[in-house]
Structure 1
Amino acid sequence: MFAAVTLLVLMCLTATTHADHHHQPCHSPNMTGMMSVMSLKGEVKALGAFTYDSTAKKLRFRSNESQPMNTSLGVDLLVFFDEGILYEIDSKNQSCEKKKLHCTLHPLDVPDDAKFYSTVHSGSPSIEGEGLKLNVWTGPFSDLKAYYSISVTMGCLPISMFYFSETTSFLISNMEIEMEIKDPDLLVVPNICQGLPVLETSEGTVNSFLHEFI
């Protein structure tokens, strides 16, 4: 499965690649943008806006419920990676769940233990304005039989992440990225979530940003 998805990534890019064993994982800046989550079968799982604080390690993702997609998930997630907490927010019903975060892997930063795979060109490297140079990083997903492949620009803006396992695979794409936090209030715990206890997690359940789409 790992080899198959890696091949898929390379098929979408030009053959201009080279390995560099001196690469070190970079870390993304503060960002605001749009994110889509799509299965490799073409099903749109979620589409919405994100806000990411790279210093405080906080992420807010709200799927756009106005999108006319019956298959998209209506999720509102606030994740505090350093604190190990994930909030599932339902503003419509004024409810919230506070969960322990089991894995900090997410699609907006390169993990410290990621392995550099290659540098590739999306589009044409020889025509000005028609290509994008990307670094591709890969690694395992915790102790599960799953892997990821994340592509970032030379400035460490995350463009896409493939998640793939024996049972499921999906692609997360980031668009319209701006290197700023436009609304800091989105990263503050809402009133409906304050003072909540951490819910007990049933055996075999993994709470993480990516597992919200599995």
Structure 2
Amino acid sequence: MRLVLLQLACLLGLSLGASLERKPHHCKSPPLLTGGFTFSTQNEKAWAYGGYEYDAMGERIRIFEVGTYEKKNFTYNGVMYEINHQDKTCVKKPLQTDFQPFGVPPNASLLGQFVIGSSSGPGQGLLVNSWAGEAPDGAKYMWTMTAFGCIPVSNLYQTKQFGWVSVSYINTVMGIVDPGVLNPPPFCSGKEVQPGGKPVDFFTVIENMRENSS
């Protein structure tokens, strides 16, 4: 019995060691996520703390700023809905970007594997992989994802308008409780894209959210 227990302990130790030393690889995040985020820019022109719902299968993202009635729905078929549930108003705007799924792009290079927090004891740290690359438009970026599960932790992205943008993801859980909340409400039905509307993206929406709540 002692020999059997010793063999089991050795096998368990080898298994744990192999999993912890697994080579980082390019990955995609789970297709359905719900959580919170913090957002700030290098030039300090935009910042926010809010929540998000992410649906990679339907190419939709919903973001909302905590403590306000302002809701922003992204449906990446070329439009965005700016929704105020309190006043039941809806504005449909063009988007200037394609849907960008969470994950590590194939052309990203590994910066390293790190522990956020401490590796001194169980539950004291989070093992993450950090990657850097360059977007098709030449903008530089850095993604940090959990080593297991490919859950987004943070994203640094270079923009012309704001300089470096930092997004940190918090309290993330897999799945969406009510997928219907990603659909525009009935009072958005029949809305046309705003004539002459300036195309928007995630960063300009966050800036507008800050201005609307101030």
TM-score (norm 2): 0.71
> 1:166-205, aligned counterparts within 5 Å?
167-200=162-195
Query: Which residue of 130, 154, 157 corresponds with 1:160?
Result: 154
Q: Is the 8 A contact 1:121 1:132 kept in 2?
A: yes
Instruction: Look up the SS of the partner of 2:141 in the other structure.
Output: strand
Asked whether 1:147 is paired with 2:149, we answer no
Q: Which amino acid aligns with 1:150?
A: W
Instruction: Look up the SS of the partner of 1:62 in the other structure.
Output: strand
Structure of higher CA gyration radius: 2
Identity %: 25
Unpaired segments of 5 or more residues in structure 1? 1-17, 67-73
Which residue in the other structure is 1:213 paired with?
A: 206
> 1:58-73, aligned counterparts within 5 Å?
58-65=60-67
- With over 3 angstroms needed to count, the CA separation of the structure-2 counterparts of 1:148 and 1:75, relative to structure 1, is farther
Question: 2:104 and 2:93 mapped to 1: Cα distance?
Answer: 22
Instruction: Look up the SS of the partner of 1:196 in the other structure.
Output: coil
Question: 1:64 and 1:156 mapped to 2: Cα distance?
Answer: 25
Q: Is the 8 A contact 2:114 2:127 kept in 1?
A: yes
Q: Is the 8 A contact 2:133 2:140 kept in 1?
A: yes
Q: Is the 8 A contact 2:52 2:64 kept in 1?
A: yes
TM-score (norm 1): 0.71
How many residues are aligned here?
183
Superimposed CA distance per residue, residues 127-175 of structure 1 (whole angstroms, 9 cap, x where no aligned partner): 32222111223333452x6332121112111111112345522321111
Q: Is the 8 A contact 1:105 1:208 kept in 2?
A: no
> 1:44-123, aligned counterparts within 5 Å?
45-65=47-67, 75-81=70-76, 83-104=77-98, 109-110=102-103, 112-118=105-111, 119-123=113-117
Which residue in the other structure is 1:127 paired with?
A: 121
Superimposed CA distance per residue, residues 92-111 of structure 1 (whole angstroms, 9 cap, x where no aligned partner): 332222222221365x6026
Q: More helix per residue: 1 or 2?
A: 2
CA RMSD of aligned residues (A): 2.9
Question: 2:122 and 2:98 mapped to 1: Cα distance?
Answer: 37
- With over 3 angstroms needed to count, the CA separation of the structure-2 counterparts of 1:199 and 1:138, relative to structure 1, is farther
Query: Which residue of 8, 23, 26 corresponds with 1:24?
Result: 26
Q: Is the 8 A contact 2:30 2:174 kept in 1?
A: no
